[in-house]
Amino acid sequence: MSRKNRDSVLRRRLLIAGLAVFLLFDVALVSFALTSTNPSDSSRAVVDAPVVEPVETTPPVVEPVETSEPAETTAITSPPPTRILTALNASTVWRANTGDCPAATANPELTTDAGETWSAFDASDGTDASSILSIYITSKSEASLVTLTAEDCTPQRVTTFVAGAQWQEYPDRVGTNWYVDPADRATVHGPTGTFPAPCTSVIALAPRTDSTAALLCSDGSLFRTDDGAATFGSGIALPGAANLTVSDDGYIIVATDQAGCAGAQLLATPQELDGVLTPGGCREAAVTPGDLAVASADGIVWLWAGDEMSKSSDRGATWQ
């Protein structure tokens, strides 16, 4: 073979070899490109989900909320009355202020003209009378007071037979009267003896006969007896009850702090031990429980409230 032919064969071989190398390199590039842009499932990187570390939390603190407690209902307590009022009929009435023994004096007043005029008397003169506990009227000229003596504040009875112009003490007769001694308001004295009251503090007493009477307690409870205070019937609660008196067919109570009455409310009840209360009229006026007094006779109700003395012939529906 000539030199020329040998060179030609060598060039062809080198060209083929170069072409083969180029093809192999090109295949390698294509393969690399495909692998980079579309990796197989087995060669994909696995990205782990982020680990959430537990976080310690402090429960919220609930601050206590101050709430107002329901308002307590204040109990109404009535003081013993400082006024006494007793009527004989539509025209003759006795009245008196009273106070603590031995400082108080007995100075009752009398009207015989239905309250147009009043005459004052000194029942302490010559009798040693101090606080007046009750007034009993026998006639236009005769009346008796149960008082405490100024000397030792024990109960006694003083009487006038001349319409207050003169008084005489009768300590031995006080036992026949009804009264409550301020030194022991848990006891009631009647004509048949002394007995425990149905409450710890009696503020007012209204006797009808030697055996029948009604009383008020400081909490407004009303009790009645028909055996001289030996026993009492069931009580009736009347908060605000301030005083009471006998009526033609039972008792009349005067009370304050009653719904619908800006002043003194009248209520009536029969003498039966279980009788109910029936509201009457209202006397609209500025009143103080301890300064209220009520009396009744011949269908007329007398009311002493504040500076006014009023009377009504229709159970308090109208006043004059």
Cα separation, 196 vs 188, whole angstroms: 6
> What would the mean pLDDT of 141-145 be, rounded to a whole number?
98
Cis peptide leading into 70, omega within 30 of 0? no
pLDDT band at 307 (very low <50, low <70, confident <90, very high): confident
> What would the mean pLDDT of 53-63 be, rounded to a whole number?
47
Residues 257-270 pLDDT 10s? 999 999 999 999 99
**Helix or strand (DSSP H, E) at 312:** strand 308-312
The predicted pLDDT at position 67 comes to 46
Residues 157-166 pLDDT 10s? 999 999 999 9
Q: Is 311 helix (H, G, I), strand (E, B) or coil?
A: strand
The predicted pLDDT at position 51 comes to 46
Burial letters 290-305, b for 16+ CB under 10 A, else e: ebbbbbbbeebbbbbb
Say whether pLDDT at 293 is over 60. yes
The predicted pLDDT at position 19 comes to 56
Say whether pLDDT at 22 is over 60. no
The predicted pLDDT at position 90 comes to 94
Considering the chain, what is the average pLDDT of its residues?
85
Of the options 1.10.3720.10, 2.120.10.30, 2.60.40.10, 2.60.120.260, the CATH number for the domain spanning 83-312? 2.120.10.30
What ranges in the chain are assigned the alpha helix state H? 3-37
| CB-count burial class (<10 Å; 0-12, 13-18, 19+) for 46 | exposed
pLDDT band at 140 (very low <50, low <70, confident <90, very high): very high
Compute how many other C-beta atoms are within 10 angstroms of the C-beta atom of residue 156.
21
The predicted pLDDT at position 44 comes to 38
Say whether pLDDT at 181 is over 60. yes
Residues 85-134 pLDDT 10s? 999 999 999 999 999 999 999 999 999 999 999 999 999 999 999 999 99
First-last CA distance in the chain: 169
Cα separation, 170 vs 151, whole angstroms: 15
The predicted pLDDT at position 75 comes to 73
> What would the mean pLDDT of 195-224 be, rounded to a whole number?
98
The predicted pLDDT at position 272 comes to 96
User: Which has more pLDDT, 195 or 74?
Assistant: 195
Residues 26-36 pLDDT 10s? 545 545 544 44
| Torsion sign across C-alpha atoms 182, 236, 261, 319 | negative
The predicted model scores a pTM of 0.76
